[in-house]
Amino acid sequence: MFNVSSAPSYFVLADYLDVGGLKYLYFLITVALYAVILAANVLLILVICVNRSLHEPMYMFLCSLFVNELYGSTGLFPSLLLQILSDIHTVSAPACFLQIYCLYTYVNVEFCNLAVMSYDRYLAICCPLQYSTLMTCDRVLVFIVLLWLFSFVKFLITLSLNVHLTLCGNTISSIYCRNYLIVKLACSDTKVNDVYGLFATAVSISVPLLPILFSYTKILQVCFSGSRQTRQKAVSTCTPHLVSLLNFSFGCLYEILQSRFDTSRVPSLLRILLSLYFVILQPLLNPIMYGLQMSKIRHTCKELFTNKMFRNPA
């Protein structure tokens, strides 16, 4: 797909700071973060897959969410670790476009997954008697396949338009590859890219946002008109989802604003940390938050570790 005649063979990532010997400290911190993200998400995926009592719609959606955290993290961290140790911050053009595809599909899958989870919570709280018939395992699998397929196909079109642009530069003001910054380097006509980009962005926001707004509007109506027990159930089941949704929305909103507006007044280190926010804190926060909040997951993890320690005493 990559057209070498219309683009440079590599890109320069210009936002890396010269930190001297501190790069080894940053490398160790980044490795530790990546290790925690991998361990936490893999653990919960295994817990959900192994325990039959967790083969329910809510936990199947969570499993999809944790798989996506692994996918998005792997799209960033290996490249980030190499760049931290390197003195020349360049990335080959194919690797750059691959990273763009991974990160942007990660974002889209995350939003769609959170949207489907909000609909699942709406059914569980507002239609408890019909929940088991409305949200079957087969329907859950259809939802999961569609949200992944929708995200991958939609951005594949964006990427296919961008890789054929004629670029007049190869310097990106970022520490990882970003789609909008590649388009800004183009010296050929980008009208088609811009129009489809706006359309794709609108679809990426509206498709998840509509079910989220619908679901929480209905949940709030039930909370205000229902009993205290209903309100407590709604709060306990919706709090992790809302925290995850708001956290991810903040990170993505900053990323959009940073791409479109001049953020040179923001201190360099703070700008770098905020640009990494959505793809570091979300994969780190979700497994910890859901693992602590969901009693079935928490109890299963305790049983696994207790049995292991009992069978293999120190």
Residue with tokens 């797909």: 1
Buried b / exposed e along 147-158 (16+ C-beta atoms within 10 A): bbebbeebbeeb
CATH of residue 185's domain is: 1.20.1070.10
Residue with structure tokens 């998005």? 72
In eight-state DSSP terms, residue 166 is: P
Q: Using the structure block, give the residue that is written with the tokens 């709406």.
A: 122
What are residue 91's DSSP bridge partners? 11
pLDDT 10s digit of each residue in the chain, 314 long?
444 445 578 899 988 887 777 889 989 999 999 999 999 999 899 888 888 888 889 899 999 999 999 999 999 999 999 999 888 889 998 999 999 999 999 999 999 999 999 999 999 888 888 998 999 989 999 999 999 999 999 899 888 888 888 888 889 888 899 888 888 888 888 888 888 888 888 888 888 999 999 998 988 888 877 677 777 777 777 888 888 888 888 888 877 777 667 666 777 778 888 888 888 999 998 988 887 666 667 677 667 666 654 455 44
pTM for the whole structure: 0.88
- Give the domain range for residue 128: 4-311
Show the beta-strand stretches assigned E in 98-144: none
What length does the chain have? 314
The alpha carbon torsion through 251, 256, 260, 261 (nearest 10 deg) reads -20
Amino acid at 313: P
Model pLDDT, residue 3: 45
Q: β-strand 10-13 against 171-172: which pairing, if any? A: parallel
For 129, which DSSP code? T
When divided into structural domains, the chain yields a total of 1
pLDDT, residue 28, reads 95
* Strand pairing report for 10-13 and 90-92: antiparallel
